[in-house]
Amino acid sequence: KGSRLGEAPDNLGDTLPAGIEGLHFHTLCESSSYDLEKVLAAFEKHFGRFFPQLKWVNFGGGHLMTRQGYDIGHLIGLLQAFREKYGLEVILEPGSAIAWETGDLVSTVLDITHNRGVRTAIADVSFTAHMPDTLEMPYRPRIMGATDPQPGKPTYRIGGVSCLAGDYMEAYSFDEELQVGSRLIFRDMIHYTMVKTTTFNGVKHPSICIWRENDTLDVVREFGYEDFKKRLS
């Protein structure tokens, strides 16, 4: 209700404006083909009167077709049935599925602070600079070996390295106490980490590496002061 994205069908009348050849929706996020099926039913109900005026439709992204258990056959059936019924070109956008579970953000604990009963592990990465989606959506990133807070287990907030007061995540529990030098591995971070990073505070960007099948690590790119400077002048 009240979204700034898209147009409500009641505002469109029965004829699309001149030059409009397609309709696009993006209502899914890491979703199944059965979620798409429900969306298509609503799409046909509310926008079907426009289909004879179109050349194409775009079903957006958010189709997590590389996740284990995703019903590819069901997806194909939905796409084929829609094309045959309406004779329209159907577009799917590449989403996080193409990079699902393919990259981690590896960080190191720089310090452990104690303030009024709250322990914070300061990492050498930043949520606002390196993982902005965690604050903007927001969502809680998975950390390898960590869980939601559990009584009796070592528990820490995770603090980002920038000076922004909100650059942190609420508490995680670990099997062992964290120490300066402990590794924190943020899972499944590749699809938004590199395209949404900022240079806030001049915080250095993480390097891009490829972990090969033979267990070797190739550093593809490193970032330094010149990268920061070029974005400013």
Domains of the chain: 9-98 (3.20.20.10), 105-230 (2.40.37.10)
Cα(166)–Cα(184) distance, integer angstroms = 19
pLDDT of residue 108: 98
Q: Which of 138, 182, 177, 133 is nearest to 155 (CA)?
A: 177
pLDDT of residue 4: 87
pLDDT of residue 177: 98
Answer whether 52's CB lies under 8 Å from 87's CB. Answer: no
Q: Which of 140, 121, 113 is nearest to 182 (CA)?
A: 121
pLDDT of residue 97: 74
Strand partners, 107: 184
Answer whether 63's CB lies under 8 Å from 22's CB. Answer: no
Tokens of 162: 């920038």
- Going residue by residue through the chain, which has 233 residues, state the pLDDT in tens, using 9 for 90 and above: 788 888 999 999 999 999 999 999 999 988 999 999 999 999 999 999 999 999 999 999 999 898 889 999 999 999 999 999 999 999 998 777 777 777 899 999 999 999 999 999 999 999 999 999 999 989 999 999 999 999 999 999 999 999 999 999 999 999 999 999 999 999 988 877 777 888 888 899 999 999 999 999 999 999 999 988 888 87
pLDDT of residue 66: 86
**Cα 22 to chain center, whole Å?**
26
pTM of the model: 0.79
Q: Which of 190, 187, 191, 179 is nearest to 145 (CA)?
A: 187
